[in-house]
Chains A and B, each alone.
Chain A
């Protein structure tokens, strides 16, 4: 039971990748990619958790209190916002592929010599 967080992270990564691999629509593929990205956040925050730790904000809290790791939280919070823009870039690629070939199905895009 203490290894459940890591198993959930692995499960999320695999589910997202399975979605990307079997997708018939490029927009559906981009959203499945967000599931894979969320697996990395779950893993980071699970690794940084300290038993009986509180949030690493010390306003009104005495300094010696046990707190969870702030480094992984810093990584996760910038990553969450930046990954939106990266997914938007992938969606723009999908729109461009649709414009050139007329379909968003990755199996049907045969020749894009526009």
Chain B
């Protein structure tokens, strides 16, 4: 304890001195942000400058982040697989009886799918994008598991279906970048026509990359949910439905 107090005071003084040396809050020095705000809309015709930055100006960083996502999902699948069969799968023997909760759930599924698709589709015009839109879509499909108790919904939990779809998303990003290489330009150059500002047909390959990111995030999240919930989402046997 005698060692702790001087160390804490010394580090605290150092931290306070470092914070006081920073520019004041709101005093933005760097030119990069101001430059981007001026040039992205005339050059790429996307009104959401953040998405234009994510998928065009800093597109390689986003590709790296998508592959962090991909690798983490692979890690979770490998860790939680059950090769010895020691973990017995329990049958889900209860069903959601309260009809009001079920009604709210069904409405949430529809609303969630619409909101998710809108966020992904209009991501590069208004706030949103592939990343939050993908999570909303996977959340809506998850609510489908929670309120539905009769059906199996096995395509949404089956890894042989979800794995290729996630690969389509992650690989689609890379293929779009490689298409630029094939055309003789640097990787991930924005190739296609830029269209009219403020409409869906704008931004060139930003829309395609946005969609690919949305697909990758949706199915990565669904794989994650399927892995974590595996023990508990098993359909009812016919003799349990009457209980």
The A contact surface, by secondary structure, is: helix
Chain B residues within 8 Å of chain A by Cβ, number: 55
A52 to B27: give the CA distance in the assembly, Å.
10
Query: Count of A-B contacts with CB under 8 A?
Result: 142
Contacting residues of chain B (26-51) with chain A, CB-CB under 8 angstroms = 26-28, 30, 32-34, 36-38, 40-42, 47-51
Check A49/B26 contact, CB under 8 A, given A10-B19, A81-B132: yes
Q: Are B80 and A70 in contact (CB under 8 A)?
A: no
Q: Are A49 and B49 in contact (CB under 8 A)?
A: no
Check A69/B32 contact, CB under 8 A, given A59-B47, A81-B69: yes
Q: Which of A48, A51, A59 contacts B33 (CB 8 A)?
A: A48
Q: Which of A3, A69, A80, A82 contacts B25 (CB 8 A)?
A: A3
Q: Which of B53, B79, B227 contacts A70 (CB 8 A)?
A: B53
Q: Are A81 and B33 in contact (CB under 8 A)?
A: no
Q: Which of A50, A72, A73, A96 contacts B26 (CB 8 A)?
A: A50
Q: Distance in Å from the Cβ of A55 to the closest Cβ of chain B?
A: 7
Q: Are A88 and B72 in contact (CB under 8 A)?
A: yes
The yes or no answer to B68 lying at the interface (CB within 8 A) is yes
Chain B residue numbers with a CB within 8 Å of A48 are: 28, 33
Chain B residue numbers with a CB within 8 Å of A22 are: none
Binary CB contact string for chain B from 189 to 221 against chain A (1 if under 8 A, 0 otherwise): 000000000100000000000000000010011
The yes or no answer to B22 lying at the interface (CB within 8 A) is yes
Q: Are B54 and A49 in contact (CB under 8 A)?
A: no
Check A89/B72 contact, CB under 8 A, given A7-B19, A56-B37: yes
Q: Are A85 and B224 in contact (CB under 8 A)?
A: yes
A71 to B73: give the CA distance in the assembly, Å.
26
The yes or no answer to A86 lying at the interface (CB within 8 A) is yes
Q: Distance in Å from the Cβ of B62 to the closest Cβ of chain A?
A: 6
Chain A residues within 8 Å of chain B by Cβ, number: 45
The yes or no answer to B127 lying at the interface (CB within 8 A) is yes
Q: Are A2 and B26 in contact (CB under 8 A)?
A: yes
A86 to B76: give the CA distance in the assembly, Å.
9
The yes or no answer to A74 lying at the interface (CB within 8 A) is yes
Check A6/B19 contact, CB under 8 A, given A59-B126, A74-B54: yes
Check A77/B69 contact, CB under 8 A, given A3-B19, A5-B25, A57-B126: no
Closest chain B residue to A3 by CB distance?
B19
Q: Are B73 and A85 in contact (CB under 8 A)?
A: yes
Q: Distance in Å from the Cβ of A82 to the closest Cβ of chain B?
A: 5
The yes or no answer to B92 lying at the interface (CB within 8 A) is no
A49 to B127: give the CA distance in the assembly, Å.
17
The yes or no answer to B75 lying at the interface (CB within 8 A) is yes
Contacting residues of chain B (158-190) with chain A, CB-CB under 8 angstroms = none
When A and B form their complex, which 7 residue pairs have the shortest distance between CB atoms, in order from nearest?
Answer: A69-B33, A51-B26, A2-B24, A59-B47, A92-B79, A74-B54, A85-B72
| Extra inter-chain contacts (13) besides given A5-B25, A74-B51, CB under 8 Å | A3-B24, A4-B25, A6-B19, A67-B49, A70-B40, A70-B49, A73-B53, A82-B65, A82-B69, A84-B221, A88-B72, A89-B75, A92-B76
Name A residues whose Cβ lies closer than 8 Å to a Cβ of B: 2-7, 10, 46, 48-53, 55-59, 63, 67-75, 77-82, 84-86, 88-89, 91-93, 95-96
